[in-house]
Every structure is written in structure tokens, then in C-alpha cells.
Amino acid sequence: MAALETIRTKFGIGASLIIAFGLLLFLVNPSDIIQTIQSTSSKNDVGKINGKSISYLQFDSEVRQMDEVRKMISGTSANTDEGQVQLRNMTWQTLVDRYLVVPTIESAGIRVGQQEQENMFVGDNLSPVASNFYGFYDEDGNYSVDRVRELVEAAETSESYRMIRDYLFDNARSNRFNEKYLGLFNAGTYVNALERKRAIEENNATANVDFVLAPGTYFPEDSTVVVNKSEVEKYYKAHEDAFRQVANRDIRYAVFELNASQEDIANSNAKFVGLYDEFASTDNMRAFLQKNSDRKWDDSWYKAGELRTVNADVENFVSANNSGVSPVFQSGTTFYAARIMDNANLPDSVYVRHIMLVGNDAKHLADSLLGVVNKNNFSTLANLYSADKGNAQDGEMGNLGWMTKNIMIKGFEPVLEAKVGVPFVLNTQYGSHVVEVTKTTKPVAKKKVAIFEKETTISKETERAISEQARLLAVRSQGKLDNFKTVCDTTGIYARSLNITEATDSYGAISHAKEVTRWAFNNKPGKVSDVIPVDNKYFFVVAVEKAHKEGIAPLNEVYESIRSQVYREKYVQKHAQDVAAQIEGLTSLEAVAEKLNTTVSNLTDVTFSTSSAPTTEPAFIGAVAAAKEGVLTGPVAGMMGAYVFKVNGREMGSYFTEDDAKAAQARFVNYYDQMILPIMMDKTVKDNRARFY
């Protein structure tokens, strides 16, 4: 039974091209987790879903299992921060489905029975999970029920197959529950012919409006506009959800960056210059760069302009010369030299096809096929022998398509220099390949360049001097916020202020600073940290000013923002009243404009509809929709000022069609679908992952 090998083979090379597939090794720094768990007693849960606490250990186990399944399917793994985040997000969503979404949908009376689950894989109503799984397709590219049955049978005796089976079946079941649930909601948004006709009429009814705006956007302090405490409290109670917050901290922090001293730069320059002659003459450039350079040997060919991202001086030298070694260039604290190794006319893109062979006899079989393959039988031989059945660009088996320097399967780099129509053998991590370049873009002048690059080494003396500055601030602060402020003020140390949550990982341009965040959340207001190193380049000293709990922000914390909001609302009403008093008795917009020292403006196609201009104030639009034609109306209080207007006339157009109405309804339904899960999760899911990762 070779189902797992078939699955791996089908994903083989393709998996290297699909980075977003998320088949990634989960890595975590154990010391960070241990520290977090030790410093918290009831805080060692990754989250809570529908009343179910998710411990770190459970989540870690689920993530590792998810990673194992993905690796078994693809046969590959990757170690990137982005991939780890994606893997954890996928695992979290799986847990949300398991403990919240599916039980909630089931409680609404929706069921996915045993027979229906089987039909999702072997029946007429396939689940997208099944139909999109390449392991269920045969050699001819057809969905195979036999392949499904092979996997199910193998799962009875193999833990690996069981994990794959459960992963696919659970995802298909959750997907079907969601389809049914969304179908119910979508049915409730049905718009009948009468409602659609009304929507079309409303969107085609437009008004031509002359208006005068008395601006009032700056909200100056007006002693006659008074906001009392009871008004603030009333607003707070009416808008509590608007003040919902996650736990956060107000902190101050000083950061000391580890920068090279002038002495460090001079020493690095001397070392670089000392190696320059060897760089200019060595016959083993790869070994030289491996030993001495921050930038290693690269077989790439560069055309004009491509080295500018490395260094402008290097680019200018290479562009102006066909051979030779550049002088030493300095950019900041980095030193560069370039040596032109070769020149050639090469294409940017090549169209590649291959026959991939795996197993102990792969190299021998590749050599044998190389002797018989030609342009007429390549596709046939690929169909017969290639282990890669997933690549058939333009309908021909074996076609990988266009490749460039930046879009390239690892190990296939020689194709950029290969001759058109001449097959050759390549050995890569995937196996042995009979490869042919069938066409290329027009060749352009390119150069192979060795780049000697070295960043200045920061000396231990410099590191000690900078870390000592941070240590002195921490020592003089004696763990107290007031002392921290005093030391910063008297010594001229700049302390930044910042509001952070447990998810905060970056401080300005400084990333990977989660340790700073953890310290702030594990200490009370008024405390000052010891020196916290970040990335071996920055030293932080942090002070906690305020701690804000999760939930509804206390009134005293949001009092001023509410008072300002209520003041603005009362001010615009008073402003409209003042304008009304000023223009009392006037009968034309021209007279109103003259009185207010402004001008008359005009708007056309004003409509109280889905197509209304978003820059037009709703209060003004609503007033226009209700106003009589030819009658001076207003003032209407808006946040931009007070409006006085006259509707000159209304028209019924035909530009908003039935298709437009259907599209608008589709947008509404799509928004509705997107909001179901967030609303379901609003008060039932607590996500604490940011505390750990």
C-alpha cells in the first residue's frame, strides 16, 4: 500500500512553490514559555472557547499534530516566523470549530449524518476538502473513490494514515456544517421582486440641491455649551460596548541601541582592506566569501540595475565595467567590494519541462532516458516515468512552465544557462530529473559578480559601554517610576511613552521585543525593570505607568473623551441655532450666503441610497430626502457645520439597474456571512495566544 508515498509524490515539487500551504515546523522558545508559566498562576491558558479552557500544553500538542499531518501530506517542512503564525492560526480555528461553531450550529437543529459524511468523499456531493485533496486523484488526474477507500482502510492499522484521515474528515464535516448554517442565514436575506423594485426606484431618485454651509468643524471652546457629569454618565451607559478594551499597559521606556563606535569602524575598515588583495586574486571565490564575507557566493547573473538594492556604488561599478575589481566602498558601517567574474547574454525567463525520477535507481534511469528522449516523446515519457504528476502546464505532462531567477525550484538554477532543446540531467533534493528548456525570453547582457561585504564588528568595549548606560538608568531608578522620570530628565535620556497590549511585539522599528511586553504585563504600575536585552542589539529599561484591565474601560479613564464627544454634539446643535438666529427672515440662499459671508454651492444626483456619495453628511442627505422642492430648508446640524439648502428638483433616472441591485444585495450577503463568526465568537472566545507567542 503506497498511498502515503503517492500523496507525498503528488505534492513533491509543487509544495516548494506554494509557500502559503502552511506545512511548517512549529518552533517555540521553551525558556519563554517556562518563564511565562512560572510567572503566572491562572494565566497559563492559551485561551477559552465556549467555556472550554485551552491550556498551553493542549494547544502545543494540537499544533504539533497539525504540523505532523501537513508534513506527512507534503513530505516537506519549513521554518519561518510567518509559517509558524499561520500554523498556530489554523490550529486555533480548528479548535474554535470543534468547541464553538459546530456545537452552536448543532444546537440550532442542523445535522450532518453518517451517510452524508460518507457522501462527502465517495458520493455525488463531494466536499471541497475532498475534491481539493490531490491524494485522492489517480494517475490520469481523475478523482478516485478507490484512493479514498485505500486511505480509510490504511487508517485502521496506521497512526499516520489515521491522522490524515481524521484531519480530512473533520475539516469536511466542519465545512458542511458551515455551508448549511450560512445557507440558512442567506435564505433569510432573500429580496423579493417588490423589494428589489423599490431599491431600484430609490437609487434612481436623485435631487439637485443648492446649499450654503456655515462651517463649524473646529469646535472652539464655547462657555455657553456646558456638558455636565450626568450627561457624560448617560452617554457612557448608552455606549458601553464602544469602550470595551483588551488588557493594556501605559509604559515609558528608554532604549539604548548597540551602534559601532568610530574606533570599531576604523578597525573593521583596516581588516577589510587587509583582505582586499586576496579577494581580488583568489581562484576559489566561493571559499573566500564563505570564510570572510557576510554575503556568500551567489551563482546568479545580474543585469543592469539589479545590484542597486545591494549597494549603489557596486551597481555603478558593475554597470560601467566588464571586468576588474572595484575599490572599497563604505555605506554607513558596512564595507563592500565587487569583482566581475564573467559576462554572458542570457534570458530573464526560461520555459522548463522535466521528468522526475525517485528511488535508488533514479540516477541510472535518468541517464537511460536522456539517451532516448526527444521533443516528440518527452511528454509521453513524462507520463510513463515521472513521479511528478501534478505539473502539466499548457496541457502537456512534465511542463513546469516559466522560471526566473526569483521564481525557481531549488536546484533548478542551471536552467537559466541551458541551451534550448538540449535535455540534460539535474539532481535535486526531490530526485533525479531529465530537464529540457523549450523556449526563452530574449537574451540580455548579464554579469556574474562576487560581492565582498562586511558589516562593522562591534567591539566588546563598545557593547560594555552602551549596556552600562542602560544599567546605570536601571540602578538609579531603584525600581520606582518617579526615580526613572527624574533620572531621564536630569541626564537627558529620552524615554518614549507607549500603550501596549499583550500582542505587542514591536517598539517602533525594533521587532522581536516580546520580552519587554511580558515584563510590563507581569509587573504593577510604578515598577521599573532591570536591563532587558533585545536581539543582542538593544537594551531596554521599562517603567509601567498604568494598567488597564480587560473589559469595559472605567468611566474615569474615558471621561474626557466622552465629554469631548458630547460637547461636539451639543456644539453643532447650538451652532445650527445660532445660524438660524442670524438668517431669520431671509428668503433666498443668496441672502443667507451674504449674511454668513460665504457662497452658494450646488450638488447634483443627491440620493438617499446605497450609491450616495460617502463624503456627503448623512444628516444633510436625510434632510434633502424629506424636504419639499423649492422651499428654503434648514439650518441642518452636521459635523462639518450647519446646512441651509433648497431642493431645485428631483429626477427619476435609469442608471441603477436590476443587476446593480443584485450586486448590492450580494455585497450585503457577503458582509453578513463574514460577520457571523466574529459575532458568534464575541463573548464566547478568549484568545490569549499573544501572551505566549
Query: What pLDDT, on the 0 to 100 scale, is given for residue 75?
Result: 63
Do 464 and 323 meet the contact criterion of CB atoms below 8 Å apart?
A: no
Query: Peptide bond before 533: cis, by omega within 30 degrees of 0?
Result: no
Mean pLDDT for the chain overall: 89
Give 238-262 pLDDT, tens digit per residue. Answer: 999 999 999 999 999 999 999 999 9
Query: What pLDDT, on the 0 to 100 scale, is given for residue 25?
Result: 27
Query: What pLDDT, on the 0 to 100 scale, is given for residue 299?
Result: 87
Query: What pLDDT, on the 0 to 100 scale, is given for residue 643?
Result: 95
Residue 612 pLDDT grade (very low, low, confident, very high; cuts 50, 70, 90): low
Query: What pLDDT, on the 0 to 100 scale, is given for residue 78?
Result: 55
Residue 520 pLDDT grade (very low, low, confident, very high; cuts 50, 70, 90): very high
* Mean pLDDT to the nearest integer, 428-436: 94
Do 577 and 622 meet the contact criterion of CB atoms below 8 Å apart?
A: no
Q: What is the pTM assigned to this prediction? A: 0.68
The three grid cell numbers given for residue 346, joined into one nine-digit string: 542570457
301-302 and 424-428 beta bridge pairing = unpaired
Listed residue (411, 409, 416) closest to 446, CA to CA: 416
Amino acid at site 196: R
* Mean pLDDT to the nearest integer, 673-691: 91
Separation CA 535–CA 146 (nearest Å): 53
Which is more confident, 509 or 390? 509
Give 613-630 pLDDT, tens digit per residue. Answer: 555 688 998 899 889 999
R_g of the chain, CA atoms, integer Å? 34
What is the helix (H) or strand (E) element at residue 437, kind and residue range? strand 431-440
* Mean pLDDT to the nearest integer, 102-121: 94
Among 41-55, 372-386, 567-581, the minimum mean pLDDT is found in 41-55
Give 632-668 pLDDT, tens digit per residue. Answer: 999 999 888 999 999 999 888 777 888 888 888 888 8
The three grid cell numbers given for residue 435, joined into one nine-digit string: 530537464
244-245 and 551-552 beta bridge pairing = antiparallel
SS3 643: strand
Share of the chain above pLDDT 70, in %: 91
Residue 41 pLDDT > 60: no
Residue 453 pLDDT > 90: yes
Q: List C-alpha distances in Å: 208 to 348, 638, 649.
A: 57, 19, 6
Which is more confident, 72 or 354? 354
Separation CA 114–CA 172 (nearest Å): 12
Query: What pLDDT, on the 0 to 100 scale, is given for residue 424?
Result: 96
Residue 2 pLDDT grade (very low, low, confident, very high; cuts 50, 70, 90): very low
Separation CA 556–CA 322 (nearest Å): 71
Give 199-228 pLDDT, tens digit per residue. Answer: 888 888 888 999 999 987 676 777 889 999
The whole-angstrom distance between residue 451's C-alpha and the CA centroid of its chain comes to 33
Beta bridge partners of 8: none
Give 8-25 pLDDT, tens digit per residue. Answer: 444 333 333 222 223 222
User: Is residue 226 exposed (0-12), middle (13-18) or buried (19+ Cβ within 10 Å)?
Assistant: exposed
Among 216-225, 397-406, 588-597, the minimum mean pLDDT is found in 216-225
| Sign of the dihedral through C-alpha 216, 221, 222, 227 | positive
Query: What pLDDT, on the 0 to 100 scale, is given for residue 76?
Result: 61
Query: What pLDDT, on the 0 to 100 scale, is given for residue 297?
Result: 95
Share of the chain above pLDDT 90, in %: 72
Residue 476 pLDDT > 80: yes
Separation CA 222–CA 571 (nearest Å): 8
SS3 141: coil
Which residues fall within 8 angstroms of residue 489, CB to CB, at 6 or more apart?
A: none
Residue 610 pLDDT > 80: no
Separation CA 693–CA 32 (nearest Å): 9
Edge-to-edge strand list for the sheet holding 424-428? 399-403, 350-357, 431-440, 424-428
Residue 6 pLDDT > 80: no
Do 263 and 256 meet the contact criterion of CB atoms below 8 Å apart?
A: no
Residue 4 pLDDT > 60: no
Residue 37 pLDDT > 80: no
Residue 81 pLDDT > 90: no
Backbone angles phi, psi at 303, to 5 degrees: -100, 170
